[in-house]
Chains A and B, each alone.
Chain A
Amino acid sequence: LAKTTQPISMDSYEGQEVNITCSHNNIATNDYITWYQQFPSQGPRFIIQGYKTKVTNEVASLFIPADRKSSTLSLPRVSLSDTAVYYCLVGLLISSGSARQLTFGSGTQLTVLP
């Protein structure tokens, strides 16, 4: 599975745009890139998923360059309630192909300040 690297923490102020970049140099051709959000003592929540170029939904955008070795999650105009841990995941099948496993790293703690 492709290993991901993302910043341990980030601070931002309310109303700003936040960009969290994830490196995944060993991404495979068939791998998707998925971001999850997790609040304390809750399960992770799917934010967005993409394969290449740009994906946008009602809460975020995901930018993926042509080489797909990195990706950037963009959160427009963050609020205090966006304070959470954000996980970047790459590759959703383990090598044996017999199970569907999500591999989480340590994530990025985003703190939104007033």
Chain B
Amino acid sequence: DAGVTQSPTHLIKTRGQHVTLRCSPISGHKSVSWYQQVLGQGPQFIFQYYEKEERGRGNFPDRFSARQFPNYSSELNVNALLLGDSALYLCASTFSRFEPNTEAFFGQGTRLTVV
């Protein structure tokens, strides 16, 4: 049974470029969330999508956007990259949107380096 898969695993971009990161949730999971993890810190919430709609947004600029497709996979887009966007980007999937005792499953992440 496949877990959460993210692609690519590593990426190097230059300042000002844009990037698209992809995530496939566990089969049957309808909710996908994105997190940014800067080195030495815990993951920070960026977005949650459920049933193809944005359901939550963290404190990130409008350069960050995302979408969820009918098959529940998701893309995270970041425009006008800054050096500070260098981080591990994590995708988490859950079956439902609300239940607090639902385990979130994380992918391996995409390591983005902006130079």
Contacts and interface: CB of A to CB of B under 8 A. Distances in A.
Interface of A: 30-32, 41-46, 49, 51, 87, 91-94, 96-107
A62 to B, nearest CB: 13
Which of B42, B106, B107, B109 lies at the interface centre, i.e. has the most chain A CB atoms within 10 A of its CB? B42
Interface residues of B, number: 33
B33 interface: yes
Given A100-B33, A100-B56, A106-B42, A44 B48 contact: no
B61 interface: no
Contact of A44 (B41, B45, B58, B106): B106
Given A41-B111, A43-B109, A99-B55, 10 more contacts: A49-B103, A92-B100, A92-B101, A99-B97, A100-B55, A101-B33, A102-B35, A102-B104, A106-B40, A107-B42
5 contacts: A41-B109, A42-B108, A100-B94, A102-B33, A106-B41
B55 A30 contact: no
Contacts of A102: 33, 35, 43, 45, 92, 104
B31 interface: yes
Which of A30, A49, A101 lies at the interface centre, i.e. has the most chain B CB atoms within 10 A of its CB? A101
A101 B56 contact: yes
Interface string B2-16: 001000000000000
